[in-house]
Amino acid sequence: MRIENGNDNVSASTKHLVFAYYVTGHGFGHATRVVEVVRHLILAGHDVHVVTGAPDFVFTTEIQSPRLFLRKLVLDCGAVQADALTVDRLASLEKYSETAVTPRASILATEVEWLNTIKADLVVSDVVPVACRAAAEAGIRSVCVTNFSWDFIYAEYVMAAGHHHRSIVWQIAEDYSHCEFLIRLPGYCPMPAFRDVIDVPLVVRRLHKSRKEVRKELGIGEDVKLVILNFGGQPAGWKLKEEYLPSGWLCLVCGSSDSQELPPNFVKLAKDVYTPDLIAASDCMLGKIGYGTVSEALAYKLPFVFVRRDYFNEEPFLRNMLEYYQGGVEMIRRDLLTGHWKPYLERAVSLKPCYEGGINGGEVAARILQETAVGKNYASDKFSGARRLRDAIVLGYQLQRVPGRDLCIPDWYANAENELNLRTGSPTAEITENSFRMQSYTEDFDILHGDLQELSDTKTFLKSLAELDAVYDSGKSVEKRWMRERMAAAGIFNWEEEIFVARAPGRLDVVGGIADYSGSLVLQMPIKEACHVAVQLNHPTKHRLWKHAQARQSAKGQGSTPVLQIVSYGSELNNRGPTFDMDLSDFLELDQPISYEKAKEYFARDPSQRWAAYVAGTILVLMTERSVRFDNSISMLVYSAVPEGKGVSSSASVEVASMSAIAAAHGLDISPRELALLCQKVENHIVGAPCGVMDQMTSACGEANKLLAMVCQPAEVLGLVDIPSHIRFWGIDSGIRHSIGGADYGSVRIGAFMGRKMMKSIASTMMSQSLSIANGNVDELEDDGIELLQTEASLDYLCNLSPHRYEALYSKMLPDSVLGETFLQQHSDHNDPVTIIDCKRTYGVRAATRHPIYENFRVKAFKALLTSFASDDQLTALGELMYQCHYSYSACGLGSDGTDRIVQLVQEMQHNRISHTDDKTLYGAKITGGGSGGTVCVVGRNSLKSSQRILEIQQRYKGATGYLPLLFEGSSPGAGKFGYLRIRRRYPHKPS
């Protein structure tokens, strides 16, 4: 339901009403928009009790009325920020638990009593979860007014902190489910806990003074360019300098500390200043994206230079709205902190923001709240609290995502953006719609080296390259969503020079999975979806630089030096910057490559550009491991169709394609195996994800329609295993975000290495005891027994221990779990170079140790079965091995509700009555990769009926969860088999 703009004020009710309005403890932005709604309720003659932690002046500056009651209390904590731009995810969850979970019973009792004491007619929440539950227990209706909810924000934090925190998300969803309905503000996020929604215009504080009056009071003429710095606090260790501003500009600084000294062209504002007037009097704003800043920038048509915040999922939706109305310019965090502001500010004042929508959302919301309080029912499709809670938890599968990692956005994201009439989907999908034009790719480029191998996605990529310069042609329409990415990409290539193109696929983990880091045999299939990377080298004096990169080089005064510029397609679908650039000299220290640890810190400084570590990190690894010198500037376009967070190795495909393209452009001869090992160093040491090597090896060494067989000790390729013609593998995405950088994967890996260290210690002790009993006389001992103990005392990989030896000697001697501190006291180290033990964390040991030992045995059996006689027994055995693997993952703590549901659906399809009377189709399924969500691999008979069963599972999963899974079908060659393309534009674009 949408309530359109109205010009009438909220009419006074014949009944005097009492509202209890709860405001979240996260920042001032919520309080400032609540002010506007409360003001209209009070004007209508009602009492409003505001429960808030915000300072009094936020309300009393705008409202002077005895009907306003302020109660200082914080019942949630929002997102805990280390500084103005950095959110601490784990601290946020811990603080919420401390604030709202531990004292929950007393909070509810207190709030129910208070609500009854003030005789509240309606509870309003923005957007405190427990307020809705307290209202329900007090027998009072409740309504939420917001553009996001905390279950959506915290769901991503759970992925980083570990699934043991997921109860927080479900509890918040349950609290919201007691809400009558949601008054939804523009720029909203998906909020599945609310089943009834009313949309209203922007809620914006009114102006008290005109632009002319404000400038006159400040003594600033109309000819002076004025930027307002609005961060709600400033990044840690930041010192503003006079040269940050263009000549003749002034900057108004909000949130400056009393002790902070400012340059003469910066003006410190009082803490209680009324910012809407100052915003409207300025020429542009510089700050972070939040509802308050975006709504006021749009309302007063003020260009907004913004810097992304990390780990705040509200931001992409507000950013899309801001940029849709042509009001936003993104500044790289590095340029903010180092003072390269000029190109961004000058770009901002050239914009013409075009928002013409309503700005009276406060008035509209107040009218709805008043009518609800006197009994009007806005909930046209009212479900019970239990029904809505069920829906919220089911849809909660879709909440578990990590910003900066999603390329394929689920339906709920698309629905949120349809309000702006934006096309949804990825660039891949958009360009594929025009694939009938692909036949002209050979007319656009001369292929000087390489073979397209009839790969349709490669043809599509070449076509997209050829069309890049069209973004400069005003006569051609380009989707706004992709305009910035394509403008950036078109600006980095010299169309008269050669371009090198590499391609690397994702992979489907058939069997082996997380046992790779324990030395297991693995069987992996390269999938059809792949990443393409285009690379061009140019002399630094001829390289086309973005304006901010030019400004940075000019500031250094060193002339033209080699620069790396990267454009990543698909970034605007998530919360990462679409571009990245750096001076290649940043990778050098005293003419030697910097350490991997310093590089990791370098990329971690700006989370919105952390993705660049996967791409640019390949350059540092080549510098370090192969002593390669990079004297030319490098332009790169990264274009991946491998969906992220699905457990199909999107990161490995980016790394392998990037290094392959760079190696080709520089004439480096690197074997696919070595290239995979180098790419693993990127992910382990620069990105900081503790993955094994099977992902990179499959992406680099795999072949279409074959399984790569590899023993991960560290990367011994045994060969390629043909997939029998009667067998087929599918991947079904659960919609639950997988991340090998997440806490669960890392803790299981640590547990496995702890188990190995413990077993080595046990073997050493047993060997010493045996020698002691024999008084040192080795001749009295059985040679085989002592040799086995000697081997196990120096066990290099868990998978070199057979299951029967594990059960006979070690299984009962390993603890189920151990505290990190206790383990370190007893064993000093777990001997894993890519993970660090947290002393305060408890790690599962027995299950994590057992899994790779048995998985290695299962993979060997699986490989042998693939070459055996084709029969129903063969397929049944293959499926059974996959089921065993799946449940072993769960025992380690790496399962998920979504992947379990898919495996259950496969089993139901396999064992139903129809299957017993008809040809069998599906035989087994397992979670893949790092687990904790992602994709399920299914094995079945290669037949049309099997494919129909897969589609049935897809639809049944959607019916149960609301999420339509992606399907992975087919295979394609690895990067080594593809090689590279060297191309030149046949009709070079002539810049005007």
Residues with active-site annotation = 695
Element of type H or E holding 884: helix 872-892
Sign of CA dihedral 931, 598, 307, 532: negative
Q: How far apart are CA 395 and CA 192, in angstroms?
A: 6
Q: How far apart are CA 540 and CA 634, in angstroms?
A: 9
Helix ranges (DSSP H) in 45-188: 57-60, 89-96, 104-118, 129-138, 150-161, 166-177
Sign of CA dihedral 514, 517, 519, 522: positive
The angle at the Cα of 348, spanning 990 to 307, to the nearest 5 degrees, equals 105
Show Cβ contacts of residue 826 under 8 Å, excluding neighbours closer than 6 positions.
Answer: none
Q: How far apart are CA 934 and CA 886, in angstroms?
A: 13
Q: How many CB atoms lie within 10 A of CB 433?
A: 9
The angle at the Cα of 745, spanning 740 to 749, to the nearest 5 degrees, equals 120
The angle at the Cα of 361, spanning 355 to 366, to the nearest 5 degrees, equals 175
Q: How far apart are CA 565 and CA 579, in angstroms?
A: 7
Burial category of 53 from C-beta neighbours within 10 Å (exposed 0-12, middle 13-18, buried 19 and up): middle
What interhelical angle do 315-324 and 480-490 show, nearest 10? 80
Q: How far apart are CA 571 and CA 486, in angstroms?
A: 11
Burial category of 120 from C-beta neighbours within 10 Å (exposed 0-12, middle 13-18, buried 19 and up): buried
**Contact, 140 vs 123, CB < 8 A?**
yes
Sign of CA dihedral 381, 385, 390, 393: positive
Q: How far apart are CA 365 and CA 198, in angstroms?
A: 9
Sign of CA dihedral 936, 937, 939, 940: positive
Nearest of 57, 580, 492 to residue 273 by alpha carbon? 57
